[in-house]
Amino acid sequence: MADMHPADIAGIISQLSHKHIQTVLISLDTETAGEAIHELEPELRSRIISQLDSEQASDILEEMAPDEAADVLGDLPEEKAKELLELMDEEEAEEIQELLEHEENTAGGLMNSDFIAIVVSATVGEALEEVRRLAPEVEMVYYIYILDADERPLGVMSLKELMIRPTETPVAEVMTTSLKTVGVESEPEDVLELIAKYSLIAVPVLDEDGKMAGIVTVDDTLELFLPYALRRRRYSHH
């Protein structure tokens, strides 16, 4: 099962009895287990996390992207969520806590706070090195955001653009400065509109001060708008 797609593992898990679910999750590596759990119905997801050993549950949540972990914790009873957050690595827990403070049906509630940001004085070569350094930790590496000293976005480059430019080129010369952004309070519809209109893979989310708080990715947006039945239909094919 370890070689299967998390969505397919989730399909299998959702048909197993409780004690078999435990066995499967324990035998998978924590990252795969986390991805599979995130793919489940919220109700089943909460039940599984609540029934797991707290240490194990917090390890799995730590391996998940912050926005996915926040999704799962947001559905748990407050006491349980608090207990799991306390067992987690402090920095990760803080990031998740911040995401939990946004209303669920806003850009802030959908966003992931992990993204690749570089300083405007960097060259294309330095930007690529930064991507390589951060890629293991960051889910969405396709866009590289250029921020000023106050964390406000000045521009963006795609990984493809970085790869085809000479390494010594300053990013300031080649970045796209007309950035399409939304605010933390924006409706998910606004995000979908930008993604569809400009064929984006992710949209930057700015806080009240115009600082970059995170990104909403196309897959998280689609997951919200794709009719539930369509998303779940794939399970009945197996």
pLDDT for residue 228: 54
Average pLDDT taken over every residue of the chain: 90
Q: Which residues of 80-118 are buried (b: 16+ CB within 10 A; e: fewer)?
A: ebeebbeebeeebbebbbebbebeeebbbbbbbbbbbeb
Q: What residues are paired with 26 via a beta bridge?
A: none
Task: Please tell me the CATH superfamily of domain 116-223, with its number.
Answer: CBS-domain (3.10.580.10)
Q: For the chain, where do the domains classified as CATH 1.25.60.10 start and end?
A: 6-101
- Tens digits of residue pLDDT in 46-74: 999 988 889 999 999 998 989 999 989 99
- Tens digits of residue pLDDT in 122-166: 999 999 999 999 999 898 999 999 999 999 999 999 999 999 999
Structure tokens at 107: 């850009």
Are 95 and 68 contacting, i.e. CB atoms less than 8 angstroms apart?
no
CB atoms within 10 A of CB 210: 13
- Tens digits of residue pLDDT in 186-225: 999 999 999 999 999 999 999 999 999 999 999 888 888 8
Structure-model confidence comparison of residues 234 and 170, the more confident one = 170
Q: For the chain, where do the domains classified as CATH 3.10.580.10 start and end?
A: 116-223
- Bridge pairing between strands 153-158 and 202-206: unpaired
- 6-101: CATH class: mainly alpha
